[in-house]
Amino acid sequence: MTQNRIDANFQALQARGGKALVPYVTAGYPDLATTGLLLRRLDALGVPLIEIGIPFSDSIADGPVIQGSFHRVLAGGFRVADLFATVRAARPGLSAALVAMVSMSLVRRPGVSEFAQRCAESGFDGLIVPDIPLEESPEVLDAAHKAGLRCIMLVAPTTPDARREQIARASEGFVYQVAVRGITGERDALPDDIAEFVRALRAVSRLPVCVGFGIGTPQQVRAVCDVADGAIVGTAVVRRISEAIDAGHSPDAIAESVTQFVDELWKEVAAA
């Protein structure tokens, strides 16, 4: 079986002492053609992973910027099957691993095994299902494993020590440490205890630890990568897409705006 790209890309980073930047884009925002263009442009920067949020009407952890993008996409008639087709078309030209952030409600619609298989066949490398509790995760973990996907688990700042260890041991690909209490969205400052949480995860897991939620500036990305294996940036990326859409920019101009911002963040990662 071909090595999973998440594993391979992290191994390549670690071999040269590098850290990961994981930009997040909303699938189909403003349309799937632009999503495909964004994937190609971000991949050309050399980022090792790209997270793709699949729009859902009742997302539980997303702040107003990402929720707003979801509502606009869904109003346009978005279909998950069309996203799979877009990823399948883009995949041969991409080196970055692709991770789907998706609600369990969408996973269950076709069936867990069927959804995981469709993800893998289209070119995804991993899944993040943020609204599934640890106790209900074995079904998703098993389906992902059989499809060759990595199922990434989230650890919250409020997660008790024993449960943190259980989640870390169940996770595959990397462990997602949530930086802030509450929903996604840019913050003026990050909590002081991120390094402590990362150390706690490394004590119980050999997987890379990436930190997300609330990270939106080059300085914050560098601070996170000083202590963790990677930084995940979502709202700040999606906000730039929204601003470009509202300004009436073309798909190419939207992609250029996002690429310039992510390139700025990626340079900070390289310097960490």
Catalytically active residues are 51, 62
Q: Which two tokens stand for residue 8?
A: 């391979």
The CA distance from 47 to 23, in Å, is 8
DSSP symbol at 20: E
State which H helix or E strand residue 39 sits in: helix 32-45
Burial (CB count <10 Å: 0-12, 13-18, 19+), residue 64: exposed
The DSSP annotation for 202-243 comes to: HTT--S-EEEESS--SHHHHHHHHHHSSEEEE-HHHHHHHHH
In degrees, rounded to 5, the angle at the alpha carbon of residue 114 between the alpha carbons of residues 30 and 140 is: 90
Residues 63 and 235: beta-carbon distance below 8 Å: yes
The CA distance from 33 to 83, in Å, is 10
Give me the residue label for tokens 């509450």: 182
- Which 3 state secondary structure label does DSSP give 157? coil
DSSP symbol at 54: P
Residue type at 262 in one-letter notation? V
SS3 string of 165-212? Answer: HHHHHHCCCCEEEECCCCCCCCCCCCCCCHHHHHHHHHCCCCCCEEEE
